[in-house]
Amino acid sequence: MNNTISPFWVIVNKEIADHLKSWRFLILLFILLLTCMGSLYSALHGFKTPIKSEDPNNAFFFLKLFTVSDGSLPSFAIFISFLGPLLGIGLGFDLINTEQNKGTLSRLLSQPIHRDCIINAKFLAALSVISILFFALSFLVMGFGLLYIGIPPTASEFWRVVFFDLVSILYVAFWLNLSILFSVCFTQPATSALSSIAIWLFFSIFYPMIIHLVAHATSPSEMATPHEIYHFQEFIMSLLQLSPSELFNEATTTLLMPSVRSLGPLTMQQVQGAIPGPLPLGQSILVAWPQLTGLIAATVICFALSYFLFMRREVRSR
**pLDDT at residue 234, rounded to an integer:** 82
**Buried/exposed 101-134: b ≥16 CB within 10 Å, e otherwise:** eeeebeebeeeebebebbbbbbbbbbbbbbbebb
- Under DSSP, the state recorded for 151 is S
Query: How confident is residue 201, by pLDDT bands cut at 50, 70 and 90?
Result: very high
For the stretch 26-31, contacts whose Cβ atoms lie closer than 8 Å and that sit 24 or more positions apart, written own/partner, are: 28/86, 28/87, 28/90, 28/91, 29/133, 31/83, 31/86
Alpha carbon distance 181, 196 (integer Å) = 9
**pLDDT at residue 293, rounded to an integer:** 93
**pLDDT mean across residues, the chain:** 83
Contact present, 44 and 68 (Cβ < 8 Å):
no
**pLDDT at residue 275, rounded to an integer:** 56
Q: What is the pLDDT of residues 257-275, one digit of tens each?
A: 888 777 765 544 444 445 5
**pLDDT at residue 103, rounded to an integer:** 77
**pLDDT at residue 155, rounded to an integer:** 87
What is the domain extent for residue 205?
A: 7-266+278-311
Q: What angle do CA 176, 181, 184 make, to 5 degrees?
A: 125
Alpha carbon distance 93, 182 (integer Å) = 7
69 belongs to a structural domain: yes
1 belongs to a structural domain: no
pLDDT over 50 at 284, yes or no: yes
**pLDDT at residue 244, rounded to an integer:** 92
pLDDT over 80 at 83, yes or no: yes
For the stretch 210-215, contacts whose Cβ atoms lie closer than 8 Å and that sit 24 or more positions apart, written own/partner, are: 211/236, 211/239, 211/240, 214/239
- Under DSSP, the state recorded for 150 is -
**pLDDT at residue 168, rounded to an integer:** 94
316 belongs to a structural domain: no
272 belongs to a structural domain: no
The residue type of 234 is E
Angle at which helix 155-185 crosses helix 189-201, to 10 degrees, equals 130
CB atoms within 10 A of CB 265: 14
Alpha carbon distance 300, 294 (integer Å) = 10
167 belongs to a structural domain: yes
**pLDDT at residue 230, rounded to an integer:** 73
**pLDDT at residue 56, rounded to an integer:** 52
Calculate the alpha carbon distances from 241 to 81, 84, 89 in Å.
Answer: 14, 18, 21
Task: Give the rounded percent of residues in the chain with a pLDDT score beyond 70.
Answer: 87
Q: Tell me how many domains the chain contains.
A: 1
Q: What is the pLDDT of residues 127-184, one digit of tens each?
A: 999 999 999 999 998 888 888 877 788 888 899 999 999 999 999 999 999 999 999 9
Most confident of 17-21, 226-230, 271-275: 17-21
317 belongs to a structural domain: no
Average pLDDT over residues 185-214: 91
299 belongs to a structural domain: yes
Average pLDDT over residues 109-137: 89
The shares of helix, strand and coil residues in the chain, as percent rounded to the nearest 5, are: 75, 0, 25
162 belongs to a structural domain: yes
Closest to 118 in 3D by CA, of 180, 162, 206: 180
**pLDDT at residue 3, rounded to an integer:** 55
Largest CA distance in the chain: 79
Query: How confident is residue 318, by pLDDT bands cut at 50, 70 and 90?
Result: very low
Angle at which helix 244-256 crosses helix 76-92, to 10 degrees, equals 140
